[in-house]
Homo-oligomer: A and B are copies of this chain.
């Protein structure tokens, strides 16, 4: 099965391209290109760490000692809205529990955060082989489908018309 960690060279090439296009993309989206926004996208593109807002703040602060944590939160949200960043954790805001401890997967409505269980025997066959990825020893695999549920499809349509 074809599967690998994303390498450092690959990431830094990608980062350079994205940084070059950043100012243009901001203006196209109606956003001002502020030093804070530049500093934050630079940190995000430079690290493989998938940082928290707090972690980004600690790094950005080294060059912008006056920046506030609130700005970092607002900026990260903004970057996600224009597609310059992703939240790795769409459900981070409160823990969700599942009584079903058998192997299965989830579909999550990105709008109302409803979650439903999904069976996916094919993917399990594809995914379960591999016991390590680089330095990581794999102990479980879960597929998360981001989606819109029926209700939210309807409401999203209304809001756009």
Chain A interface (Cβ within 8 Å of chain B)?
A: 1-6, 11, 14-15, 18, 41, 44-45, 47-54, 56, 76, 79-80, 83-89, 91-102, 104, 106-107, 109-110, 114-123, 126-127, 133-150, 153
Contacts and interface: CB of A to CB of B under 8 A. Distances in A.
A89 B153 CA distance: 24
Query: How many monomers of this protein are in the complex?
Result: 2
A118 B133 contact: yes
B101 A88 contact: no
Contacts of A119: 2-6
Given A138-B107, A144-B144, A3 B97 contact: no
A151 to B, nearest CB: 9
